[in-house]
Amino acid sequence: MPARAQSPATADKPVKPYTDAYRLAHAHGLADAVNLYLELAEDNFAASDSVNGRRWIRRAKECVEKLLAVVDPDSSVSNSPKEGDFKDEPEST
Protein backbone atom coordinates (compact mmCIF):
# COMPACT_ATOMS: atom_id res chain seq x y z
CA MET A 1 0.00 0.00 0.00
CA PRO A 2 1.51 3.37 -0.92
CA ALA A 3 2.10 5.91 1.81
CA ARG A 4 -0.42 8.70 2.02
CA ALA A 5 0.92 12.10 1.07
CA GLN A 6 0.50 14.95 3.50
CA SER A 7 -1.68 17.76 2.36
CA PRO A 8 0.04 21.14 2.07
CA ALA A 9 -2.16 22.43 4.90
CA THR A 10 -0.86 19.85 7.40
CA ALA A 11 2.72 19.71 6.15
CA ASP A 12 3.56 23.10 7.69
CA LYS A 13 2.05 22.41 11.12
CA PRO A 14 4.53 21.55 13.86
CA VAL A 15 4.25 18.08 15.34
CA LYS A 16 3.05 18.11 18.95
CA PRO A 17 5.29 16.09 21.26
CA TYR A 18 2.24 14.66 23.04
CA THR A 19 -1.30 14.08 21.88
CA ASP A 20 -3.90 15.20 24.38
CA ALA A 21 -4.78 11.59 25.26
CA TYR A 22 -1.14 10.65 25.82
CA ARG A 23 -0.53 13.79 27.87
CA LEU A 24 -3.52 12.96 30.08
CA ALA A 25 -2.45 9.33 30.55
CA HIS A 26 1.15 10.31 31.27
CA ALA A 27 0.06 13.00 33.74
CA HIS A 28 -2.25 10.53 35.48
CA GLY A 29 0.60 8.00 35.81
CA LEU A 30 2.94 10.64 37.22
CA ALA A 31 0.29 11.79 39.69
CA ASP A 32 -0.15 8.19 40.85
CA ALA A 33 3.62 7.93 41.32
CA VAL A 34 3.67 11.13 43.40
CA ASN A 35 0.92 9.74 45.65
CA LEU A 36 2.79 6.45 46.10
CA TYR A 37 6.09 8.18 46.89
CA LEU A 38 4.43 10.45 49.45
CA GLU A 39 2.77 7.46 51.13
CA LEU A 40 6.14 5.68 51.29
CA ALA A 41 7.76 8.81 52.73
CA GLU A 42 5.03 9.07 55.35
CA ASP A 43 5.57 5.42 56.32
CA ASN A 44 9.34 5.95 56.59
CA PHE A 45 8.98 9.09 58.71
CA ALA A 46 6.47 7.27 60.96
CA ALA A 47 9.08 4.55 61.45
CA SER A 48 11.73 7.19 62.30
CA ASP A 49 13.57 6.50 59.03
CA SER A 50 14.15 10.06 57.86
CA VAL A 51 16.90 9.14 55.35
CA ASN A 52 14.59 7.00 53.23
CA GLY A 53 11.70 9.39 53.89
CA ARG A 54 13.68 12.23 52.34
CA ARG A 55 14.57 9.98 49.40
CA TRP A 56 10.86 9.36 48.67
CA ILE A 57 10.18 13.09 48.98
CA ARG A 58 12.90 13.79 46.38
CA ARG A 59 11.37 11.21 44.03
CA ALA A 60 7.94 12.79 44.48
CA LYS A 61 9.45 16.21 43.69
CA GLU A 62 11.02 14.83 40.49
CA CYS A 63 7.65 13.43 39.44
CA VAL A 64 5.92 16.74 40.14
CA GLU A 65 8.47 18.53 37.95
CA LYS A 66 7.88 16.01 35.15
CA LEU A 67 4.13 16.31 35.64
CA LEU A 68 4.32 20.08 35.25
CA ALA A 69 6.36 19.66 32.07
CA VAL A 70 3.75 17.29 30.61
CA VAL A 71 0.82 19.51 31.55
CA ASP A 72 2.55 22.69 30.34
CA PRO A 73 5.21 21.76 27.76
CA ASP A 74 6.05 25.44 27.18
CA SER A 75 7.14 25.90 30.79
CA SER A 76 10.79 26.17 31.72
CA VAL A 77 10.73 22.68 33.26
CA SER A 78 12.07 20.06 30.85
CA ASN A 79 9.99 16.91 30.37
CA SER A 80 12.88 14.87 29.08
CA PRO A 81 14.45 12.40 31.51
CA LYS A 82 17.81 13.43 32.87
CA GLU A 83 20.69 11.13 33.61
CA GLY A 84 20.16 9.67 37.05
CA ASP A 85 16.38 10.14 37.16
CA PHE A 86 14.92 7.70 39.66
CA LYS A 87 18.34 6.24 40.35
CA ASP A 88 18.16 4.23 43.54
CA GLU A 89 20.18 5.56 46.38
CA PRO A 90 21.79 3.14 48.79
CA GLU A 91 19.51 2.08 51.61
CA SER A 92 20.44 3.23 55.08
CA THR A 93 21.45 0.59 57.57
The DSSP secondary-structure symbol of 13 reads: S
pTM: 0.53
- Dump pLDDT digits (tens) for 71-83: 777 765 554 545 4
CA–CA gap between residue 82 and residue 77 (Å, rounded): 12
Residue 61 has pLDDT above 60, yes or no: yes
**35 touches 90 (CB < 8 A):** no
Whether residue 40 is contained in a domain is answered as: yes
Residues whose CB falls within 8 Å of the CB of residue 67, separated by 6 or more in sequence, listed in order:
27, 30, 31, 34
Whether residue 34 is contained in a domain is answered as: yes
- The boundaries of the domain holding residue 32 are 18-71
Number of folded domains that form the chain = 1
Whether residue 32 is contained in a domain is answered as: yes
